[in-house]
Amino acid sequence: MIDTLRLTAEEAAGLVERGEVTGAELHRAYLDAIAERDPELHAYLCTVDEPEGEGVPIALKDVISTRGVPTTAASKILEGYKPVYDATVAARCKTAGLPLLGKTNLDEFAMGSSTENSAYGPTRNPWDPSRVPGGSSGGSTAAVAAGLAPWALGSDTGGSIKQPAALCGVVGLRPTYGTVSRYGIVAFASSLDQVGPIAKTVRDCALLHRIVAGRDPLDSTTVELPEPIELPQAEDLKGLRVGVPKELNEAEGIEPGVSDAANRAIELARELGAEVGECSLPRSVEFGLPCYYLIAPSEASSNLARYDGVRYGLRVANGDVRSMYERTRDAGFGDEPKRRIMLGSYALSAGYYDAYYGQAQKVRTVIRDEHEAAFERFDVLVSPTSPTVAFELGARTANPLAMYAADLLTIPSNMAGLPGLSIPCGLSDGLPVGFQLIGRQFSENLLFRAGHALERALAFDVVPERLR
């Protein structure tokens, strides 16, 4: 009997290696779990019945192109689209022998923080199905939390791995920009998008990151990793200099229960031998979010232009080509992509470019510099991942700005291209709280070591209480 709720990817790999279960049995166990629990959660958009590979199965966020398997980005405009090629990360999973379990739900084109923007219906939080799993990688994090996948890949633009990992009580890494190939990832905002692992443990994340990371000749923004990814063993944090950015820990809107849990984690870090000190990222936090909402929509407005009904996906033909574009895009895109296409087109327009997109890029440099200065004194910066625990479905759908605020704490380091790891650090009102560790560029190994030591000490039970 395979307990998919408890089994980590590392343990699953051990079972297969020792011949205690076959890859097919493992895959079947997860499909059974999906059949049992996914009708309620809706973490998957599709599942794969006949997998390739004998290793630990994996779920992929549905922005990752999978050859012959539908890839929709949770949009109507890509309904029925089956890629003719594998994204580099999907190909690397295949090469590593990880069979595909299925494609997970997300906010349409990864635009959102609750997975409610999916054109195929929302995903629900395994800890409380009346609540959202976060987003946009909510399908992947919910699948891992509910034992519907041992591990998964998500993508993170403004916080789309870290924030739902926090809300679902699992571990998620947003890697350093440029360390994981974007080739084959349905693009949202090219200068921010990054694929990363989601799993129950830090070690599982490290294992999966090791499989997918590294330079890809098909993505010229990728670089060679300066050092190989190591499996973390550390049990203490001796000598680690931990910075606590005031603005990320005291921002308006952070729930008291979230603050308490994060502070306990900081206290624990000190007990494990870390040197904890306060620091400041004033402009990063004040300007990060507004600048993000200029840069990301600008790039999105251009990235989404290819969905025109000419070559693939939805086409609403009617009269001439202009009218085909208009009708196809009107019928194919949901409200959030439309909103961001409009925002972005405006920000890039002649006469507005310098004031909006150009200015936001300058501020981005300021944010990078501010983080760099902090890293002269500290090895990692920590804060809550999300200001709140999982909120009720529908609570923010009428108010885009409230929804955007969900990424307030993850956006600044994303804008700086830095890696961030979110680990569960406790509960608030019975719902998981995420703790974010931000590192220098290419410091994934350090984040994994720190995250692993903290995770052990925190002893958080990742299985949602209602499923135990």
- Alpha helices by DSSP H, 169-313: 202-212, 246-249, 256-271, 282-303
135 contact partners, CB below 8 Å, separation of at least 6: 106, 107, 112, 113, 114, 115, 116, 117, 160, 163, 164
409 contact partners, CB below 8 Å, separation of at least 6: 159, 248, 251, 254, 285, 383, 384, 385, 386, 387, 436
Select 357 or 375, whichever has its Cβ closest to other proteins. Answer: 357
Q: Does 185 bind other proteins (CB under 8 A)?
A: yes
Q: Does 176 bind other proteins (CB under 8 A)?
A: no
Select 71 or 385, whichever has its Cβ closest to other proteins. Answer: 71
3-state SS class at 367: helix
Q: Check if 301 is active-site.
A: no
Report d(CA 339, CA 398) in Å as an integer.
13
Report d(CA 348, CA 299) in Å as an integer.
9
Q: Does 84 bind other proteins (CB under 8 A)?
A: yes
| Ramachandran class of 115: left when φ > 0, alpha when ψ lies in -120 to 50, beta otherwise | left
Among the listed residues 325, 359, 400, 427, the single contact to other proteins using CB under 8 A = 325
User: What is the amino acid identity at position 90?
Assistant: A
Q: Of 350-358, 409-417, 419-427, 431-439, which segment contacts other proteins by CB under 8 A?
A: 350-358
Q: Of 16-24, 122-130, 165-173, 179-187, which segment contacts other proteins by CB under 8 A?
A: 179-187
**Type and span of the H or E element at 61:** strand 58-61
Among the listed residues 22, 318, 321, 335, the single contact to other proteins using CB under 8 A = 321
Q: Which of residues 226-285 bind other proteins (CB under 8 A)?
A: none
Q: Does 187 bind other proteins (CB under 8 A)?
A: yes
**Beta-strand pair 275-279/100-104:** unpaired
Q: Does 162 bind other proteins (CB under 8 A)?
A: no
Select 88 or 410, whichever has its Cβ closest to other proteins. Answer: 88
Query: Per-residue contact track with other proteins, 396 to 435, x per CB under 8 A?
Result: ----------------------------------------
Query: Count residues contacting other proteins (CB under 8 A)?
Result: 44
Q: Does 298 bind other proteins (CB under 8 A)?
A: yes
Among the listed residues 28, 70, 190, 276, the single contact to other proteins using CB under 8 A = 190
In the complex, the smallest distance separating the C-beta of residue 60 from other proteins, rounded to whole angstroms, is 12
In the complex, the smallest distance separating the C-beta of residue 91 from other proteins, rounded to whole angstroms, is 12
Q: Does 197 bind other proteins (CB under 8 A)?
A: no
Q: Which of residues 352-391 bind other proteins (CB under 8 A)?
A: 353, 357
Q: Of 81-89, 131-139, 198-206, 224-232, which segment contacts other proteins by CB under 8 A?
A: 81-89
Among the listed residues 12, 48, 59, 81, the single contact to other proteins using CB under 8 A = 81
**Type and span of the H or E element at 327:** helix 321-332
Q: What are the beta bridge partners of residue 151?
A: 199
In the complex, the smallest distance separating the C-beta of residue 324 from other proteins, rounded to whole angstroms, is 9
Answer yes or no: are the C-beta atoms of 7 and 33 closer than 8 Å. Answer: no
In the complex, the smallest distance separating the C-beta of residue 345 from other proteins, rounded to whole angstroms, is 7
Which of these is catalytic: 160, 259, 284, 298? 160
**Beta-strand pair 100-104/58-61:** parallel
As a whole number of Å, the end-to-end CA separation of the chain is 16
Which tokens is 232 given?
């973390």
3-state SS class at 459: coil
Q: Of 165-173, 216-224, 252-260, 383-391, which segment contacts other proteins by CB under 8 A?
A: 216-224
Q: Does 145 bind other proteins (CB under 8 A)?
A: no
Q: Check if 160 is active-site.
A: yes
Report d(CA 235, CA 228) in Å as an integer.
20
Among the listed residues 24, 96, 218, 276, the single contact to other proteins using CB under 8 A = 218
Answer yes or no: are the C-beta atoms of 143 and 172 closer than 8 Å. Answer: no
3-state SS class at 191: coil
- Chain residues in the site for other proteins (CB under 8 A): 63-65, 71, 73, 78, 81, 83-85, 87, 182-187, 189-191, 217-221, 298-299, 301-302, 304-306, 308, 310-312, 321, 325, 345, 348-350, 353, 357
List, by residue number, the catalytic residues. 61, 136, 160
